[in-house]
Amino acid sequence: MPGFTHEVEVLDPIGLHARPASQIVKLVKEADVNLTIGRPGSESMSAKSALMLMSMKVKTGEKLILTFENTDEVSASNIASQIQEFLKG
């Protein structure tokens, strides 16, 4: 199955911190998808570890690329929308 990508923006005034990182990990594990997250043009990290996501030190206003594997486009879009909500703060 082909992969799908979506772009999200971190709007939380604190950036990507523990709460949204753990919400993302929980969502990805429950949905049983392979998701990597990274800055445009940079290496991506697995979204199955909150510590890995927080180690990216993403700040407010940065855009992130979500790359989905083993899911359909509708599911990927729904998950991306939920992740964007987590990143609003």
Q: Which pLDDT does position 2 carry in this prediction? A: 58
Give the per-residue pLDDT at 52. 96
pLDDT in tens, 36-62: 999 999 999 999 999 999 999 999 999
pLDDT of residue 89: 84
CA atoms within 13 A on the CB side of 31: 25
Q: Which CATH class is domain 4-86?
A: alpha beta
Residues 9-17: what's their mean pLDDT?
97
Domain boundaries, the chain: 4-86
Rg (CA), the chain: 12
Task: Answer yes or no: is pLDDT of 86 > 70.
Answer: yes
Other C-beta atoms closer than 10 Å to the C-beta of 11 total 14
In the chain the beta strands, taken as DSSP E runs, fall at: 4-9, 34-38, 45-46, 63-69
